[in-house]
Structure 1
Amino acid sequence: MISRPARLLALVAASTLVVAGCAPTNDSDSGNEGNNSGNNADSTGDNDSTGTAAEEASGEPVQVGIIYSETGPLAAYGKQYREGLEAGLDYATDGTGEVNGRPVEITYRDDAGNADTAVAAARDLIGQEFQILGGTVVSGIAVAMAEQAEQNEILYISGPAAADVVTGINEFTFRSGRQSLQDVATAGAMLPDGGGKIVVLAQDNAFGQGNLSAVELVLGGEGTEVESVMVPEDATEFTGFARQLVDADPDLIFVAWAGATAGSMWQALDQQDVFEAAPVVTGLADSATYSAYGEVSDRISFLSHYFPGAPDNEVNQALVDHVTEAGGTPDLFTPDGFVAGQMIVQAIAEGGDDVNAMVDALEGWEFEGPKGTTTIRESDHALIQDMYTARLVEEDGEWVPELIDTVPADQAAPPEASGQ
């Protein structure tokens, strides 16, 4: 297991999902309620004939278990992940569904947003000798799944779950999406040259405290002055907090917010002329939220993990085409599933049935993903990838994202965890 600084461990407890948690209202909070264990096991092909497996092609299927939110509070994100996964598997296997002559069979299980449900499903699949598991959009579930991976020495590839602790938690755990520290580094790209002062507006709960800690770690560590305005979670009146932002005379305001009060919060910021005081940045969530910011939509600067129009490359076009042709819509977490498909194929192609060889095949692997050149950092398994800044613009009566800039992968990279 990779050791980590205590402060970074505290960061994780927040299970923060910065990009997804800032829209006014939507059913995709970063909560993890849920209580039913879904059991819908079905199969879909996925494999690659490139690479050299440790064994001759035997034709025996490779069993892969995907535990994700088919139902529960983050089911919309789970759907995006699954659509991306199926597109990624198809792409990485050139449509054959095979790696070195072996069909890849996917069994899906519903975690319903509940860690106990996910662990029960993981234990069941491990008991059936599954050596590869993937999935989940919930940070707390990802941590629990990582523990199962280490205890049972199987490969686990986490999905969109953003908690930083997943990076470097143990040698058997990887991630196919970005993490919260990359969101914060992207926000830092919007600061004026020389740093300046950033003020964090957040709810005074685990989510908000986690985001504040991330800003202090990433941007404060680079010399930026960091202050905060922390709002009680049960607050319904935000005028005074908005005035505190103006009085702080910031160079940038970073908003980390989740839940039903976000609409009132944005309205208060508008009424108190916060947008005239400094640029306001927050995370761009999925497409369902684009119309939810109201009159301030075009005055917010967004950090973005992904939207379909951000990358311009052949792999992203393959993602968009596959998902669209299958009747879906590419969205925030579609690339996390796509990359998981690529990683699964790479692990099987190079590692065969040897989990340690699968780990070796993924560590340090550089490949072309939907967001361009992507690297799995060998030391801690961070997924180094481009990030984006964006604005919302009105188009045919609807709000849509428009790319402002691409933040290169190395500039958005999270601090490196201690070595294994």
Structure 2
Amino acid sequence: MKLVKSAALAAAMAFASMSGASADTLKIAFIDPLSGPFGPSGQSGLNEWTYAAAQVNAKGGIQGKQVEVIGLDNKVNPKESLIQFQKAIDQGVRFIAQGNGSSVASALVDAVEKHNKRNPGDEVLYLNYAAVDPVFTNDRCSFWHFRFDADADMKMEAVTDWIKGQEQIKKVYIIGQDYSFGKAVAAAAVKNLTAKRPDIEIVGNELHPLGKVKDFTPYVQKIISSGADAIITGNWGADMVLLIKSAMDSGFKGEILTYYGGSKGAAVAMGESATGHVKAIVEHNTNLPMSDAHAAYVDGYEAEYSEDDYYYHRISNAMKMLAMAADKAGSTEPKAIAFALEGMTWEGPTGTITMRADNHQILQPMFMSTFSKDGVTRGVEDLPLGWTSGANDRIEGEATKTETTCKMKRPS
């Protein structure tokens, strides 16, 4: 098992990378947590961006430039993220990648907009791989922001479509992290359950501090006492792992419907008792049918980063689309790439992928995946357990499309 790099080492590597960058390098600043309770999630994301860059570089790079990914630790803090953003700008970075925390994304969307208005010709493009508050592709959409993950509303549509056919579920408890994303998940759950299953009783709707709860047992005891048949949660990272651990340890027997049940460490925390009960709405799992080329990509990643399982498939998609857009534009300038990304469609490993032109939201096949012990050819976290999807668990990308309030303002 490879050890996760310390925050200090990551920072030192980032500084060295930035200091040695040249005009022949396309630099992507990865601004996400590399320390603290969400450090493992951020490190996995950095690993996948780095691996994706290495695969592109092996084929000649992007428009002849080698891609360099620079890890910058933001500690899931908006203010720290702005400091890291400025550090990246000072070193000539023109692309940023971020995903952990919509509160951070909110700060970065504003920072990128302000920077680009003040610095025409030196713009920055924001590649969002996981911050899924719907507002970023609705009222607060930006020409300089592209999201490569389904938003919270799109995911909840899929989750509640599944619930609609589960007549045994009569009572649902909603629990999430107390910030914009957690609130968006809760609002979407209430709206969709009311519309699709008005007979279901929502027996709890609770938010908890982000990254502060060390033991979720008191929360789970309330859930069990409520008589809930199912839990809906958008928790990610340590908050996902600890919630599921407490649910299993406390003997919760209902369904746990998640956005990020595949968070690093969750499988070990769940164990075999969770199989068949924990579900996640995802764009990929490693037990889906794969082409030889895609299987080789997954195998290569897991060999290079043996502490990780292949999880953030959307990062591979983002890097591929970045390269395709640069080729289409014949340029590595962010504005040219942004225009080329708009409306782009291609056949990815799981099916048709489209970047909407109207709000810069990705449309891609989604899968309701179940934590399983049967039908698993690729386990996770060194377990014989993994995530599987059946024939009826696939949702085509176009079917995930939602209405948008985005009024995109494009540069001339």
TM-score for both structures, normalised by structure 1:
0.72
Q: Give 1:162's aligned residue.
A: 132
Q: Pick closer, same or farther for the CA change 1:238–1:344 going to 2, 3 Å.
A: closer
Structure number with greater CO (CA < 8 Å, separation at least 6) is: 1
Q: Pick closer, same or farther for the CA change 1:372–1:78 going to 2, 3 Å.
A: farther
**Distance (whole Å) between structure 2 residues aligned to residue 349 and residue 64 of structure 1:** 17
Q: Pick closer, same or farther for the CA change 1:140–1:239 going to 2, 3 Å.
A: closer
Equivalent residues, number? 363
Q: Is the 8 A contact 1:363 1:378 kept in 2?
A: yes
1:303 aligns with 2:266: no
**Distance (whole Å) between structure 1 residues aligned to residue 70 and residue 219 of structure 2:** 47
Q: Give 1:242's aligned residue.
A: 224
Q: Give 1:110's aligned residue.
A: 73
Structure 2 residue ranges without an equivalent (≥5): 1-6, 117-123, 209-215
Equivalences for 1:364-379 in 2 at 5 Å?
364-379=343-358
Q: What letter matches 1:159 in structure 2?
A: Y
Equivalences for 1:190-205 in 2 at 5 Å?
190-192=162-164, 199-203=171-175
Q: What letter matches 2:364 in structure 1?
A: Q
Q: Is the 8 A contact 2:341 2:355 kept in 1?
A: yes
Q: Give 1:15's aligned residue.
A: none
1:399 to 385, 390, 394: 385
Q: Give 2:295's aligned residue.
A: 317
Q: Give 1:183's aligned residue.
A: 155
Q: What letter matches 2:153 in structure 1?
A: L
1:213 aligns with 2:187: yes
Q: Is the 8 A contact 1:89 1:341 kept in 2?
A: yes
Shift in Å, 1:319: 2.9
1:66 to 4, 20, 30: 30
**Distance (whole Å) between structure 2 residues aligned to residue 105 and residue 399 of structure 1:** 35
Q: Give 2:4's aligned residue.
A: none
Q: CA RMSD in A?
A: 3.7
Residue-by-residue CA offset, 1:169-220 (whole Å, 9 max, x unaligned): 3110112333322321221231345999874412376365432201234454
Q: Pick closer, same or farther for the CA change 1:179–1:195 going to 2, 3 Å.
A: farther
SS of the residue corresponding to residue 389 of structure 2 reads: strand
Shift in Å, 1:323: 0.6
Q: Give 1:134's aligned residue.
A: 97
Q: Give 1:40's aligned residue.
A: 13
**Distance (whole Å) between structure 2 residues aligned to residue 105 and residue 255 of structure 1:** 35
Shift in Å, 1:255: 4.7
Shift in Å, 1:376: 0.9
**Distance (whole Å) between structure 2 residues aligned to residue 134 and residue 160 of structure 1:** 10
User: What percent of counterpart residues are identical?
Assistant: 17
TM-score for both structures, normalised by structure 2:
0.73
Q: What letter matches 1:236 in structure 2?
A: P
Q: Is the 8 A contact 2:177 2:234 kept in 1?
A: no
Q: Pick closer, same or farther for the CA change 1:144–1:112 going to 2, 3 Å.
A: same
Structure 1 residue ranges without an equivalent (≥5): 1-33, 45-58
Q: Is the 8 A contact 2:301 2:310 kept in 1?
A: no
Q: Pick closer, same or farther for the CA change 1:210–1:383 going to 2, 3 Å.
A: same
Q: Pick closer, same or farther for the CA change 1:182–1:318 going to 2, 3 Å.
A: farther
Q: Pick closer, same or farther for the CA change 1:204–1:380 going to 2, 3 Å.
A: closer
SS of the residue corresponding to residue 161 of structure 1 reads: coil
**Distance (whole Å) between structure 2 residues aligned to residue 235 and residue 289 of structure 1:** 16
Q: Give 2:213's aligned residue.
A: none
Q: Is the 8 A contact 1:366 1:373 kept in 2?
A: yes
Q: What letter matches 1:308 in structure 2?
A: T
Q: Give 2:120's aligned residue.
A: none
